[in-house]
Homo-oligomer: A and B are copies of this chain.
Amino acid sequence: MSFNTFGRMFRYTSWGESHGPALGAVVDGCPPGIALSEADIQPWLDKRRPGTSRFTTQRREPDIVRILSGVFEGRTTGTPISLMIENVDQRSKDYANVAVAYRPGHADYAYDAKYGFRDPRGGGRSSARETAARVAAAAVARGVIPEVRIRAYLTEIGGDVIDRAAHDDAEIDRNPFFCPDPAAAARWEVLVDAARKAGSSLGAVVECVAEGVPAGWGAPLYAKLDGDLAGAMMSINAVKGVEIGDGFAAARLAGEGNADAMRPGPDGRPLFLANHAGGIAGGIATGQPVVVRVALKPTSSILTPVETIDRTGAAAEIATKGRHDPCVGIRAAPVVEAMMALVLADHKLLHRGQIG
């Protein structure tokens, strides 16, 4: 893992800014012989794409991916797979004042403090547009782990929580919120509309479950499956918290309440009677579903003016008028899913390398 590279055996390097000509990812270490074409990647990008409902930014990006290398006659060759997505709708004028005053909650000031200056157009490199590269790379990763089924969904927007009893996977793709509870989805429509019209924004919680991960993937200490997932999720824009299994709730349990008891199961494998651990023990998968939850802060770009300073250090005030997601958490769901796929593909290859 380097500044812009993620993974050990299955790795990708991401590049590109919000308002540059293009962005992309170079995937390295992908096994050979996996069926892959643009058509395998595009649907995942379409799920993350902006402008598909009134609840996301109105920037119009088709997000068409091109495979520039690493595939021959429809199969991966084992050599680097270069994926490129051209930027089409870069309206830089919206960002004119951004170049002057720092937007609180954004990376503006921190980037200037680090690099001395930055590309201010649309957040430059710190824009969530970079997540398109992740989703494209993850589409390749999915081909490496056909045994795994991953789904991410929102459990909470602005503090309004789903009813777990009403959870129905089939609902997730039927509403613009990746919400598994149709009643919650209906409430969120009102909630997000109100925030959008007020020029305000809302936070959210995304949960992600991976089924089919065999016991044994993962590794000790500094390549723990949960450690890698935590790092991966926290690297997504606007994420401020990560939980595995019961997460913070586990801190309030006594040992008896947190135990995942085991019974003899089919095929000699254990049957777990609970999954407080979220499918990971000692950094290694137990064969239960892997469960991760991430907290996303509300979009920092809001219409209400906020006190700030400009590059010269002088007092200023800023209200962000550009095109923004009223709730970044919504479009984060496909990205959380992507990071899960990328971490698992990497660990499958690591496990295979060490254990055979």
Nearest chain B CB to A165 CB, angstrom units: 21
- Complex: A9 Cα to B195 Cα, angstroms: 43
Residues A105 and B300 in contact in the complex (CB < 8 Å), given A4-B222, A220-B3, A230-B233: no
Nearest chain B CB to A195 CB, angstrom units: 7
- Complex: A237 Cα to B224 Cα, angstroms: 10
Report yes or no: B251 in contact with A4, Cβ–Cβ below 8 A.
no
Residues A248 and B205 in contact in the complex (CB < 8 Å), given A28-B4, A80-B14, A282-B111: yes
Chain A interface, number of residues (Cβ within 8 angstroms): 155
Residues A105 and B259 in contact in the complex (CB < 8 Å), given A26-B15, A33-B116, A234-B244: yes
Q: How many copies does the complex hold?
A: 4
Residues A258 and B105 in contact in the complex (CB < 8 Å), given A2-B11, A284-B110: yes
Chain B neighbourhood of A296, CB < 8 A: 250-251
Known: A253-B297, A255-B298. 11 other contacts (CB 8 A): A2-B11, A3-B223, A4-B220, A32-B116, A33-B116, A111-B282, A126-B282, A224-B234, A259-B306, A262-B307, A353-B353
Residues A109 and B215 in contact in the complex (CB < 8 Å), given A117-B33, A300-B259: yes
Report yes or no: B16 in contact with A29, Cβ–Cβ below 8 A.
no
Report yes or no: B250 in contact with A203, Cβ–Cβ below 8 A.
yes
Report yes or no: A308 in contact with B278, Cβ–Cβ below 8 A.
no
- Complex: A264 Cα to B309 Cα, angstroms: 6
Q: List 27 A-B contacts (CB under 8 A).
A: A1-B222, A2-B29, A9-B353, A15-B70, A15-B82, A16-B68, A16-B69, A17-B69, A32-B355, A77-B118, A77-B124, A79-B124, A111-B282, A126-B283, A200-B255, A203-B252, A205-B248, A230-B242, A237-B282, A240-B243, A240-B251, A242-B242, A246-B297, A255-B301, A255-B302, A262-B308, A264-B313
